[in-house]
Amino acid sequence: MAISRSTWPPVPANSTDSDRTWTSRRWCIRRSRSRHSSSACRSKPPKASRSSSNWKTLSRLCGASPRSPSQARKGAMRSRSRCVSFATSSERCRGFPRCGPASVPVPEVLIVAGEASGDLHGAALADRLRVIRPDLILTGVGGSRMESAGVRLLERTTGIIGFVEVLRHIPAHWRLLRRLRARFASGEVGLAVLIDYGGFNLRVAAAARAVGVPVLYYITPQVWASRAGRLKTMARVITRAAVILPFEEALLRAHGVDATFVGHPLLDRATDLPSKAEARRRLGMREDGEILALFPGSRAQEIRLHTADFVAVARELERRRPGLRVVVGVAPTVSIDPAEFPFQLLRAPAFDLLRAADVALCKSGTTTLEAAIAGCPCAVVYRTNAMTYEIVKRLVRITHIGLVNIVVGREVVPEFVQAAFQPIPVADALEPLFDPASPARATMLAGLADVRAQLGEPGASERVAQMVAGMIR
């Protein structure tokens, strides 16, 4: 919605200057300019005659410089445009502006999430902010989930990854960055909350800090994996950081970033997971039989690069295990052609699908942590553009790519990356996991439980919302 002074709640008449909270620098400047004409005029000055002594007395009472009555009237007319409360006052001033209680701007929080997972976490944060700070105006850049949570979107976005893929989107990124810079410069934004998407959001953070807008970075760039040089930039442009992996807090603090571990936001959606039977009923599936769940990604280019091999793995497992049912988890941000994925396509909560499945094949990313929380054995795969992969190989400094393995520092689930992602080896790794009595399944379930324990306690969105409430001006 448009932001105007007519939407600002009035300050109680008996409040003092210390009670007034000003979130906009622009209106603070206007207020200071008009203080000489408005601060002393909150009560109506006594009626004075035109004698020299009387108009000088009146001037002293109102804090104005000694002027003649005619000069005072002309000055008052000029100062009306500078009077903070004149535009919303129900009564025009005579002689001097007659000022009622000053209006207070509604604080605006601008949330920027560049991809599907960020949109999900941004929506959860917005839901909590609506409860603890219903006075806030929430604007942002994100997707349908944030919009449904009450965030007024300045622009819709979907995430892109990879060095080569990003090149095509540079003009759109610069246009959006210019728009956000103008928004920050308007003086209306009291706090910027940036979620993940480091390549773009670090530039947004710099734009916000350049005009004095504080920045809370929620889900910081994975500098522990690559591009550690970003730590210096983060220390310069981030006011506070809310991190979601346990080892990130110490790392960022060691480099000058005020970081706080808030737990992983996925746990907020996993407080009451259904049983396998209940999950299958919710999804309209038979309660018996084996189910393989495929999660090919939440971005169009990921799905394009993974489709053929995902289908080949599923076909191989169908051949080995007659009666196997294959379902595909479809992210809300993408569409999948049924002709390319000839299995049941489900737009359902990932946790429901993972609880219903016996085994999952997951593209590397957030879904692997969802599998750990849901207790679903899986394998992690990843394929990207060949040029992007060659660049990433020279930048990445970690052994594993799956978050489940990174969190505990060892291989809990098997990984198949780029050329190693072949249907037969992946099917070989997944097949023993269907057997409830197999040692491979028992070992993996124990490892997934370790991952779950490392992610903290539920309530990440609430903790971040409290940080927002403490930082907003």
287-308 mean pLDDT: 90
Tens digit of each residue's pLDDT (9 = 90 or more) over 428-460? 999 999 999 999 999 999 999 999 999 999 999
pLDDT reported for residue 334: 80
Residues 264, 314 within the same domain? no
Instruction: State how far the Cα of 114 lies from the Cα of 260, in Å rounded to an integer.
Output: 22
Q: Is residue 97 part of a domain?
A: no
Residues 433, 292 within the same domain? yes
Q: Is residue 185 part of a domain?
A: yes
Tens digit of each residue's pLDDT (9 = 90 or more) over 157-191? 755 444 344 555 678 888 899 999 999 999 999 99
Residues 246, 307 within the same domain? no
Range of the domain at 159: 108-268+458-471
Residues 347, 240 within the same domain? no
Which of 362, 375, 347, 370 lies closest to 297, judged by CA? 362
450 φψ region: left (φ > 0), alpha (ψ -120 to 50), beta (else): alpha
Least confident of 120-134, 186-200, 378-392: 378-392
Per residue, the 3-state secondary structure of 96-159, as one string, reads ECCCCCCECCCCEEEEEECCHHHHHHHHHHHHHHHHHCCCCEEEEEECHHHHHCCCEEEEECCC
Residues 292, 187 within the same domain? no
Least confident of 142-146, 160-164, 403-407, 466-470: 160-164
Q: Is residue 225 part of a domain?
A: yes
Tens digit of each residue's pLDDT (9 = 90 or more) over 337-373? 888 899 999 999 999 999 999 999 999 988 999 999 9
Tokens read off for 284: 């309209």
Residues 427, 288 within the same domain? yes
281 vs 90, residue with greater confidence: 281
Residues 315, 364 within the same domain? yes
Q: Is residue 236 part of a domain?
A: yes
How far lies 324's CA from each of 149, 279, 318, in Å? 38, 17, 6
Residues 300, 449 within the same domain? yes
Helices (H) and strands (E) counted in the chain, each on its own, are 19, 13
Global pTM value: 0.70
Instruction: State how far the Cα of 439 lies from the Cα of 360, in Å rounded to an integer.
Output: 17
Instruction: State how far the Cα of 103 lies from the Cα of 89, in Å rounded to an integer.
Output: 10
Domain count along the chain: 2
Instruction: State how far the Cα of 313 lies from the Cα of 7, in Å rounded to an integer.
Output: 57
How far lies 66's CA from each of 69, 75, 76, 171, in Å? 9, 12, 13, 58
Residues 216, 289 within the same domain? no
Instruction: State how far the Cα of 445 lies from the Cα of 74, in Å rounded to an integer.
Output: 81
β-strands 189-195, 215-218 pairing = parallel
| DSSP secondary structure of 17-32 | GGG-----HHHHHHHH
Residues 381, 361 within the same domain? yes
- Report yes or no: 360 and 257 within 8 Å, Cβ to Cβ: no
Residues 347, 375 within the same domain? yes
Q: Is residue 81 part of a domain?
A: no
Q: How many alpha carbons lie under 13 Å from residue 106 in its C-beta half-sphere? A: 19
Instruction: State how far the Cα of 402 lies from the Cα of 406, in Å rounded to an integer.
Output: 6
- Report yes or no: 350 and 274 within 8 Å, Cβ to Cβ: no
Instruction: State how far the Cα of 324 lies from the Cα of 313, in Å rounded to an integer.
Output: 12
Instruction: State how far the Cα of 137 lies from the Cα of 59, in Å rounded to an integer.
Output: 41
Q: Is residue 211 part of a domain?
A: yes
Radius of gyration of the chain, Cα coordinates, nearest whole angstrom? 29
| DSSP secondary structure of 350-372 | HHHHHHH-SEEEEESSHHHHHHH
Residues 185, 331 within the same domain? no
Instruction: State how far the Cα of 261 lies from the Cα of 455, in Å rounded to an integer.
Output: 10
CATH of the domain at 140: 3.40.50.2000
305 φψ region: left (φ > 0), alpha (ψ -120 to 50), beta (else): alpha
pLDDT above 60 (res 66)? no
141 φψ region: left (φ > 0), alpha (ψ -120 to 50), beta (else): beta
Q: Is residue 410 part of a domain?
A: yes
Which of 287, 276, 436, 459 lies closest to 352, judged by CA? 276
Strand order in the sheet with 344-346: 344-346, 325-329, 291-295, 359-363, 378-382, 415-417
Q: Which residue has the tokens 């020299």?
A: 52
* pLDDT bracket for residue 217 (50, 70, 90): very high
Three-state secondary structure call for residue 191: strand
Three-state secondary structure call for residue 274: coil
Q: Is residue 91 part of a domain?
A: no
